[in-house]
Each structure stands twice: as C-alpha cells, then as structure tokens.
Structure 1
Amino acid sequence: MSSVSFDNATFRRVLGHYPTGVCVVTATQDDDTPVGMVVGSFTSVSLDPPLVAFFPAKSSSSWPRLQSVGKFCVNVLASDQQPLCRQIAGPGPDKFAGISHRVSANGSPILDDVVAWIDCALDAVHEAGDHYIVLGRVVALEVERPERPLLFFQGNYGQFSLIE
C-alpha cells in the first residue's frame, strides 16, 4: 500500500465540499425495540436487481444491532427534520422517544413525514477500510412527502435550492 501525501483532516475537508443527503436507517429488533442510525453515505447501486448501499463505520455501535436483524429501512429526511436527525444520531438508550413511525410490511420503522423510504433485505456486507459497504435488496419504496431533503455540506446541515 502506498503512502499518501495528505492527512485525515485534509481528506475530510476536501470531501466535505461534496454535499450528501441525510438518511436514518432503521430496523426492529426481535424484542420489538426500534434501532436506527444516521447515515450521509447512501446511494442507489443497481436497477436489476434493485440494490442500494450505505457505509457505516466499523466503530458504529448501532450497525451491529441493525445487521443482526437482516433487514432495514432507509428513511430520507426532509430539510425540516434536523432535530429528528440529531436525536437519532445522539447517544442514549431510547433514540426513538417521541418519534412517530409506523412499521413497514418488512417489519422496519418508517419515520413519519420523511421525504421517502426504501425498505430492504440485507443482501451483502463488505469490508472497506474503516467502514463497511452494506448492500440492501429493495423490497418496497415510496415517496411520502415530495419536499426538499436535508443535506450535509462542509460540516453543516442545509437544504437544496433549485435554480430556475
């Protein structure tokens, strides 16, 4: 492996110039406890078969709980859902306190008022440096609220603005 000519701070600063959407990945554990994590690294992968991906850190305490369920739902947050995002991202035993949701046909929480949701079966997990590449096979999806999504850019939250 070749050495690099930059440090972690430079890597983060440069990649921070690329905006990402903000999603909450959810699942329901065997004891009916909802579990979730915020991700800014979500993407579509394939139409045939329908696959999506996200990239949790190996250090994540939420990812092993989600992985053990074997299915999950990606909830695309709207620009007004920053408080929800911060609650799910924060520490604590009950990240879902006061968060309204319903359960998908696949058994995962769909958060109320999200832009869209994508319900998945866990297809594959690959190691990638200090993260995992998680592939989900899409089993159902829908646009709930065609609003502007919550974005993350240069260390801050924001929203998309259309150029007319």
Structure 2
Amino acid sequence: MMMAVQDWVTPDDPVDLRQALGCFATGITIITGTTPAGTRFGLTASSFQPVSLTPPLVLYSIRKGAASIGLVKDSGSFCVNVLRHDHAELAKRFAAPVADRFEGLEWYSGCLGCPVLPDAIASFECRLWATYDGGDHEIVVGEVAKLRRARDGNPLVYFRGEFHPIIPAAPRSA
C-alpha cells in the first residue's frame, strides 16, 4: 500500500523528528575515559557506529554543551563499552546526573587509561581521531587501538524511547 503525500511531515517539530528517529533501534554503549588529571568520566550513548576498517575508526555523537565533550578532548582517548541485555539500570545510571557514576562499579584501566567495563559484550579503546560539527551535536571519531569481545552475550537496544533486551529465540527443533 502506498502512503499518501499528506502522511509525510517536515522535520520542523523536534518531537516528530525524535519519534521518527526512535523507530530505528540502536545499540547502547557507555563511553568512558580518564583525563590527564585523573578524572574519570562516562556517559550513555546510542549513537555509536563503525566508520572504517582501515584505519579502524568508530564514532559516537554527543550533545553540544555536554561536559564530557571537553573531557574527551582533554584526555585524547575514550573507550566504547557495548552493553549487555541486562544493563538497562547501568545505562540509566550513566545517563543521569550522578556525582560518581563509577562508585561501586567493577571496572579496570585499559591500555589507554580509560575505564573498561569487564561485563560489556565488546569494548573498543580509541585514540581521539577528530571531532566534527554535527548541528546540535558534536561527532567524535576515534581510532581503535585495542578491542575485546565476550564469547557470549546479547545486546541492550534503544527503541521508541525505551531500553529493550535482545534475547534470541530458542533454536527450532527439526
């Protein structure tokens, strides 16, 4: 069935745009880092994606004015931790204004000094490659220096404004 032209709207209303973009399911990550002064930082991001295999580049975007953009630029590195299906509370913690998001959390320092979450299904330690203007966001590109992936685990995704665990269906019997 074809849609009528009147079903389309212009992206003038940010609510309409956000709701339409929310129809695209994205994985959830926690971006972490440590400044040269030793300040740890972390934030929840659903805007992570690969850019290039050679060189190995990835990106995420962050709202302009967010405190962590300056921290990433100062540190020169960051780690992308891909969250498991049962990490919704952790994602909410790193998205909220919490004094110390790492308090009581298990983590270790990676090769670039960034906090790595050992329970993530994958982690990418990155050197800051470049940042770009992206409207009301800044696009942060990193060159992957080290990576690790778990042998198992299912992702947490963001869809229509909510976190959803992805749990594969049981294999069909023959």
Shorter-chain TM-score tier: over 0.9
1:44 alignment counterpart: 50
2:26 alignment counterpart: 20
Say which SS state the counterpart of residue 62 (structure 2) adopts. Answer: coil
* Corresponding position: 1:135 with 2:153: no
Contact 1:75 1:116 in 2 (8 A): yes
Say which SS state the counterpart of residue 56 (structure 1) adopts. Answer: strand
Gapped regions of structure 1 (runs ≥ 5): none
1:159 alignment counterpart: 165
Distance apart, 1:93 and its partner CA: 2.1
The structure with more radius of gyration: 2
What is the TM-score normalised by the length of structure 2? Answer: 0.87
Say which SS state the counterpart of residue 67 (structure 2) adopts. Answer: coil
* Corresponding position: 1:105 with 2:97: no
After TM superposition, the runs of 4+ consecutive aligned structure 1 residues lying more than 3 A away are: 161-164
Moved more, 120-129 or 60-69: 60-69
Distance apart, 1:10 and its partner CA: 0.5
Amino acid at match of 1:23: T
2:122 alignment counterpart: 116
Instruction: Report the Cα distance in structure 1 between the residues aligned to 2:156 and 2:34, rounded to whole angstroms.
Output: 24
Moved more, 6-15 or 60-69: 60-69
What is the TM-score normalised by the length of structure 1? Answer: 0.92
Instruction: Report the Cα distance in structure 2 between the residues aligned to 1:6 and 1:56, rounded to whole angstroms.
Output: 21
Gapped regions of structure 2 (runs ≥ 5): 1-9
Indicate the RMSD between aligned Cα atoms, in angstroms.
1.4
Percent identity (aligned): 35
